[in-house]
Amino acid sequence: MRAMIRPDLLELPGYVAITPTDVLAERLGIKPEDVIKLDGNENPFGPSPRALEAIAHERAYHIYPDPDQQRVRGALAAFLNVDAERIVCGLGSDDLIDLVMRAVIAPGDGVINCPPTFGMYPFSTEINGGRVIDVPRLENFALDVAAIEKAAPQAKLIFLASPNNPTGNRLSPQELERLLATDLIVVVDEAYIDFAGREHSSVKLVEQYENLVVLRTFSKWAGLAGLRAGYGVMATVLSSVLMTIKQPYNLNVAAGVAMLASLEDRVLLDERACKIAGTRDRLAEMLAGLPWITPYPSEANFILCRLDGVDALEVKDRLASRGIFVRYFDTAMLRNHLRISAGLQEHNEPLVRALREIGAELGR
């Protein structure tokens, strides 16, 4: 059997995912509600009440979902003011990342990746037989646009998160314009745009630029991470291919009704996004008061922090022993960093208090 499997996949490291709350609680011997989970950029408010009601009242779970996603695509078209034919829905934006790769990448084709960034881009590239071309970000985590332009002839695609995960900075209109001029297919992943302000979205440019693809998700803004609900907006020539090659029923019934209900309840969800952004900003101020922690500016629902004079992994582990979970990335550019999701306001004080204690324990 081993000889029959693609050799490159046998050597592929898996994507490092986060652990569910109930598993974390069981490991520590505490109640799930006592876990302060700040490692997954999840929405601490959960789904909209209308979404929960819609899921509870739906009675068609024994029927296959609409393979053409007509109701959801129509509602998204009205929400975004674009043609429904430009929209493709999937199992979170991760599904759309994979679909775009499968539609465009032939074995050996180049995909530009700008680390540090979302790990699904190189992961999906390698699964689809593509070649990852890393163009690292600058020291302040801004894009090295000149280096991307130089690498562009070797590639077909570039993936860019805006705001970027895990650094929290947003792609500027000027940067996007230069990248679109390279004739690469530019995929802008806007998973966190609702915390920066949707006026900064690139969706409005899709009709102008055929080589622009914008991905969005209901995981963060709408609190539907567990249902896997996302979509992409793109040129119709590409969307028609994605609708052909996707799994026919990739958007399940529960996710579909929850997406529709969330769009109807978007005033509440926008208010929650504003609250999360406020919690993020207050947390950044509190973290900046610790002399060994430097939080970077963020327009997402998380904060990347540089730790000075301590081992970031040890700090993560000491927080975990207290029931507080944050994200550590074992990469060269982020080895002395932690990413902390913005939770509820009542999470800020226990987190900062624990960090003060840990700092004292480590001589900081």
Tokens at residue 237, please?
Answer: 């020539």
pLDDT in tens, 122-149: 999 999 999 999 999 999 999 999 999 9
Collect all residues with Cβ–Cβ distance below 8 Å to 325 and sequence separation of at least 6: 19, 24, 35, 36, 37, 38, 39, 319
| 256 in any annotated domain | yes
| 156 in any annotated domain | yes
Based on the domain organization, do 89 and 201 belong to the same domain? yes
158, 144 Cβ separation under 8 angstroms: no
Number of Cβ atoms within 10 Å of the Cβ of 26:
11
Q: What is the pLDDT of residue 34?
A: 83
| 142 in any annotated domain | yes
Q: What is the pLDDT of residue 19?
A: 79
225, 91 Cβ separation under 8 angstroms: no
Q: What is the pLDDT of residue 115?
A: 97
Q: Considering 265, 293, 321, which residue would you say is the last residue of a domain?
A: 265
The strands making up 212-217's β-sheet, listed across from edge to edge, are: 87-90, 230-233, 212-217, 185-189, 157-161, 110-113, 131-134
Based on the domain organization, do 160 and 220 belong to the same domain? yes
Residue 312 pLDDT more than 90?
yes
Please state, rounded to an integer, the average pLDDT across all residues of the chain: 95
Based on the domain organization, do 71 and 156 belong to the same domain? yes
Q: Considering 246, 265, 284, which residue would you say is the last residue of a domain?
A: 265
115, 333 Cβ separation under 8 angstroms: yes
| pTM, entire model | 0.93
Q: Domain containing 57: what range? A: 49-265
CATH number of domain containing 168: 3.40.640.10
Collect all residues with Cβ–Cβ distance below 8 Å to 102 and sequence separation of at least 6: 128, 245
Shortest CA distance to 332 belongs to which of 168, 40, 136? 136
| 319 in any annotated domain | yes
Based on the domain organization, do 196 and 317 belong to the same domain? no
116 CA to centre of own chain = 13
Based on the domain organization, do 240 and 122 belong to the same domain? yes
Residue 18 pLDDT more than 80?
no
Based on the domain organization, do 8 and 70 belong to the same domain? no
Q: What is the pLDDT of residue 22?
A: 82
Q: How far apart are CA 361 and CA 314, in angstroms?
A: 11
Shortest CA distance to 101 belongs to which of 121, 117, 119, 115? 121
169, 137 Cβ separation under 8 angstroms: no
Q: What is the pLDDT of residue 256?
A: 97
277, 163 Cβ separation under 8 angstroms: no
Based on the domain organization, do 221 and 297 belong to the same domain? no
- The tally of domains found in the chain comes to 2
Q: How far apart are CA 9 and CA 127, in angstroms?
A: 7
Q: What is the pLDDT of residue 29?
A: 83
Q: What is the pLDDT of residue 8?
A: 85
281 CA to centre of own chain = 19
CATH number of domain containing 283: 3.90.1150.10
Q: What is the pLDDT of residue 138?
A: 95
Percent of the chain surpassing pLDDT 70: 100
Based on the domain organization, do 258 and 278 belong to the same domain? no
**Residue with tokens 């204690």, as numbered in its chain:** 357
Based on the domain organization, do 39 and 170 belong to the same domain? no
Q: Worst-scoring range by mean pLDDT, 19-33, 157-171, 301-315? A: 19-33
Based on the domain organization, do 17 and 135 belong to the same domain? no
Residue 176 pLDDT more than 80?
yes
Residue 337 pLDDT more than 90?
yes
pLDDT in tens, 94-130: 999 999 999 999 999 999 999 999 999 999 999 999 9
Mean per-residue pLDDT for 147-168?
A: 98
Based on the domain organization, do 57 and 177 belong to the same domain? yes
Q: What is the pLDDT of residue 313?
A: 95
